Amino acid sequence: MKKINIIKSKNEFTDIINNCNYKKNDYYTIYYRKNNKDNRYGVSIPTKTGKAVIRNKIKRRIKNIIDINKFIIPKTYDYVIISRKRLLELNYQEMEKHFIELVKKIGEKNEK
């Protein structure tokens, strides 16, 4: 994932979380809003999930899933992805499967 595609500002994170639509399942909550440019992503892992090593590992995996599946993710959106603690129970393939299912729901909802 290129650095220009990352949401870093705390103000943008809170704006998207407080004012935008979201979809969730047992492992992720994804907040999203329409923009006029390329997709941008912000990944947040709560401290309850584990120590920094664990949180960074999950964040790297989520970013890798996004990179590999760019063509599936609906275009021109800002996404804030928040993981849940239950994500630790999954291996990489299951993480990817649940993430893609949730992103497809976002795409289906917005096509209507």
How would residue 92 be classed by pLDDT, with cut points 50, 70 and 90? very high
Is 28 part of a structural domain of the chain? yes
58 domain residue, yes or no: yes
Over range 58-86, report the average pLDDT: 92
DSSP three-state, residue 85: helix
Asked whether residue 111 is domain-assigned, the answer is no
Helix axes 52-68, 92-111, angle to 10 degrees: 50
* Residue 54 belongs to domain with CATH number: 3.30.230.10
How many domains are there within the chain?
A: 1
CA distance 26 to 16: 21
Which residue, 50, 53, 7, is CA-closest to 30? 7
Judge whether 110 lies within some domain. Answer: no
- Please, which pLDDT band fits residue 111 given cuts at 50, 70 and 90? low
Give DSSP secondary structure letters for 20-57: SEEEE-SSEEEEEEE-SSS-EEEEE--GGG--HHHHHH
26 half-sphere exposure, CB direction, 13 A CA radius: 9
Q: Is residue 78 part of a domain?
A: yes
Mean predicted confidence (pLDDT) in 22-27? 92
| 67 domain residue, yes or no | yes
Q: Specify if 112 maps to a domain.
A: no
Q: What integer pLDDT is reported at residue 110 of this predicted model?
A: 65
pLDDT band at residue 107 under the 50/70/90 scheme:
confident
Contact 33, 21 (CB under 8 A): yes
Q: What is the span of the domain harbouring residue 80?
A: 3-105
Q: Which residues contact 74 (CB under 8 A, 6 or more apart)?
A: 103, 106, 107, 110
Q: Residue 75 — pLDDT band, cuts 50, 70, 90?
A: confident
